[in-house]
Amino acid sequence: MKGETIGWWKWKKINFLMGCVGKIQRWKLKKASKDVKKTQEKTLRDILESAKDTVYGKEHNFSKVLEAKSADELFRLYKENVQVNDYEDLRPYINRHMHGESDILFPGKPKMYATTSGTTSEPKWIPITYKYFKDIYGNMNRLWLYNFIDANPDTFAGGVVSIVGKAIEGAAPDGTVYGSVSGVSFTNCPPFVQVAYTAPPAVFEISDYRARYYTIMRLGIEHNSTLLITANPSTIVEMQNNVNEYFDEYVKDIENGTLKEDLDIPASVREALKSRLHPNPKRAAELRKIKAEHDVLLPKHYWPDMACVTCWHCGNTKVYLDKLKDSFPEGCVQPEFGYFASECRAGLVMNVKDDTTLFAHMHYFEFTKEEDLDNEHPEYLTIDQLEKGKRYCMYVTTWSGLYRYNMNDLVEVTGFNGTIPTIQFIQKVNGIITLTGEKLHERQFIQAVHEAEEGTGIKTKFFIGFADAERSGYDFYFEFVDRSIDQLKAEEFTKVVDSHLKKINCEYEAKRDSFRVKDPQTFRLIDNAFETFKQQCISEGARDGQFKLMLLLNDPKRHEKFKKLVIAE
């Protein structure tokens, strides 16, 4: 029954209050969309004005840039004075903030850091300023939640199952915390929304993934949940796997008001959950009846009123969506999660489709054409120069000290919201592969193989890795110097490579430990595999002098070619 979980009046209160704050943010976006060039000029001026007296602002002549008399002059002077940056360019400045200095990239010090894997073994520490958290992230969240209600008014009629990261994981040398921005937002969301969440923030402190999924689903299934929020559809797949494995235990726990004692859950988390655990024999009986009626249990069976499910749809996450077909009830809206990264939440999906409207009034954007990516001196375009149907690499300037920052993402323009482009994420570029958020870099793979060689004494003549989106794992191909190495020994070598990748890339480790990225598979290559592959490509039209091959790819066509170069068992 709708409203049963949180109460009819609380449901209507959430809709009313989210409507009030959401409509304000929607009005601001509509105003910004009338003239995107003018909006971008104001956004860039505001960011540079705020940071002009910082170390970075003085070094890069922000005050001079701000003397521009027009939008075009402002954009030109900004490009002339500030280089395109990747994280390693900004790391020295961020390190100064991390060790207690103020006014380096932005005024003051950050509220927190979001950590994510980098292109080296050292993770990225993305600063999140108070301004960004409150005025950008906070206001976007208000509009985001209102969009769900607008798409389906029953979204908050029941429980909310939300999967976020751990809010606080540790601290920088100066004591500033680091963790998940979504986790901190979850903790700080308004009380009138918190009442709908089926699991408290403490749940995300459970480090054991099976125990965490069990707890989230045990709490979620007890309620008639109507909203499911998680970035990765692979997470929903793993949650459903957990249901299939532990459903009877869920029911027993719900009946008795308990939580399995043999789960690896900290005592502090169990204490935090006590107020939510009460005997519920009525719901337990309902669940037993549901199981008896269905050969295969799906979310639509135990959450028949699910109104809204949001996760990523774009890029190679589509393979996971295929596994969720027919999992939710008819009438359940499923909006795309939107283009969202630790560095920048670039915008929101403003339709019930897959198109992210870029928030030009909150960030400054630049782009290079896909065909210009290998150009040593590419043309950098402003947002008003984009064309529908074309693909671009995106660069952002944010209120958190990222200036002309290369997102390393390929996006496609799908249309326009007013004059603001809408985009869909296509894939990572420049050697970064991500199946489910791990962002594994070619350099990291090469480093892991070399470290495995040093540790085992086994030498490779050639190696290459491919992402297998269908399997949600990686396939590693090795041509060993010692041709007597058999398949078993090759698989042991892969395990060593895998262990090094976990040490190098924290997000790869997290995705492997949570089973979202499966065990890598091992293939031994024939003699001179690379040369054979290259000759084949040249015979098909590739230019010998320009032939390039990255060693970590998400390229099904090339993958198929290497499958034919494997030693026959």
Domain edges within the chain: 27-130+338-428, 153-322, 432-563
Measured between alpha carbons, how far is 521 from 466 in angstroms, rounded to an integer? Answer: 10
Q: Give tens-digit pLDDT for 555-568.
A: 888 899 999 999 98
Per-residue pLDDT, 184 = 78
Determine how β-strand 460-468 pairs with β-strand 552-553. Answer: parallel
Would you state the structure tokens that stand for residue 479, as one six-digit string? 């041509």
Contact present, 502 and 508 (Cβ < 8 Å)? yes
Per-residue pLDDT, 241 = 83
Q: Give tens-digit pLDDT for 433-457.
A: 888 888 898 889 999 999 999 999 9
- The CA distances from residue 155 to 2, 159, 259, 310, in Å, are 10, 9, 27, 11
Measured between alpha carbons, how far is 185 from 164 in angstroms, rounded to an integer? Answer: 9
Q: Which residue has the higher pLDDT, 244 or 381?
A: 381
Q: Which residue has the higher pLDDT, 450 or 374?
A: 450
CA nearest to 38, candidates 72, 8, 64: 72
Would you state the structure tokens that stand for residue 526, as one six-digit string? 């024939």
| Backbone dihedral angles phi then psi of residue 400, each to the nearest 5 degrees | -110, 20
Determine how β-strand 308-310 pairs with β-strand 227-229. Answer: parallel
Percent of the chain with pLDDT over 90: 67
pLDDT band at 234 (very low <50, low <70, confident <90, very high): confident
Q: Give tens-digit pLDDT for 3-47.
A: 566 677 788 888 888 899 999 999 999 999 999 999 999 999 999
Residue with tokens 């509509």: 30
Least confident piece of the model among 258-262, 326-330, 371-375, 384-388: 371-375
Measured between alpha carbons, how far is 425 from 412 in angstroms, rounded to an integer? Answer: 7
Average pLDDT over residues 188-217: 86
Q: Which residue has the higher pLDDT, 247 or 325?
A: 247
Q: Which residue has the higher pLDDT, 210 or 162?
A: 162
pLDDT band at 545 (very low <50, low <70, confident <90, very high): very low
Q: Give tens-digit pLDDT for 88-99.
A: 999 999 999 999
| Residue 546 predicted with pLDDT over 50 | no
Q: Give tens-digit pLDDT for 257-270.
A: 999 999 999 999 99
| Residue 119 predicted with pLDDT over 60 | no
Backbone Cα Rg of the chain: 25
Q: Give tens-digit pLDDT for 48-78.
A: 999 999 999 999 999 999 999 999 999 999 9
Per-residue pLDDT, 251 = 96
Would you state the structure tokens that stand for residue 3, as one six-digit string? 């409203």
Contact present, 422 and 360 (Cβ < 8 Å)? no
Residue with tokens 């990261």: 165
Q: Give tens-digit pLDDT for 497-507.
A: 999 999 999 99
Measured between alpha carbons, how far is 102 from 129 in angstroms, rounded to an integer? Answer: 12
Q: What is the pTM of this model?
A: 0.82
Measured between alpha carbons, how far is 246 from 214 in angstroms, rounded to an integer? Answer: 8
Average pLDDT over residues 376-387: 95
